[in-house]
Amino acid sequence: MSMPYHNLGRTDLQVSAICLGTMTWGEQNSAAEAEAQMDYALESGVNFFDTAELYAIPPAAETYGRTEEIIGAWLRKTGRRNDIVLASKVCGPTGWCPHIRSGKARLDRKNIIAACEGSLKRLGTDYLDLYQTHWPDRNTNYFGKRGYLHAADDDAIAIEETLSALHELVTAGKVRHIGISNETPWGLMRHLQLADALTLPRVASIQNPYSLLNRSFEVGLAEIACREDVGLLAYSPLAFGVLSGKYINGQKPPSARLTLFGHYTRYSGELADQATAAYIAIAEKYALNPAQMALAFIRQQPFVTSTIIGATTMTQLIDNLASHTLELDQQCLSDLQQVQARYPNPCP
CA distances from 128 to 77, 88, 155, 214, 283 (A): 18, 7, 29, 29, 38
Percent share of the chain, pLDDT over 90 = 91
Cβ proximity of 308 and 22 under 8 Å = no
What single-letter DSSP state applies at residue 287? T
Each residue's pLDDT tens digit, 40-73: 999 999 999 999 999 999 999 999 999 999 999 9
Banded pLDDT at 36 (limits 50, 70, 90): very high
Q: Which residues are catalytic?
A: 55
Banded pLDDT at 329 (limits 50, 70, 90): very high
Nearest alpha carbon to residue 111 among 137, 129, 139, 142: 137
Give the dihedral of Cα atoms 18, 19, 23, 29; nearest 10 deg: 70
Each residue's pLDDT tens digit, 170-188: 999 999 999 999 999 999 9
Mean pLDDT for 118-137 is 98
Banded pLDDT at 144 (limits 50, 70, 90): very high
Percent share of the chain, pLDDT over 70 = 99
Mean pLDDT for 314-333 is 98
Select the CATH number that applies to the domain covering 5-239+301-326 from these four: 3.40.50.720, 3.40.710.10, 3.10.20.30, 3.20.20.100.
3.20.20.100
- pLDDT value, residue 124: 98
Banded pLDDT at 265 (limits 50, 70, 90): confident
Give the dihedral of Cα atoms 72, 75, 77, 82; nearest 10 deg: -160
Map residue 227 onto helix, strand or coil.
helix
Cβ proximity of 319 and 211 under 8 Å = no
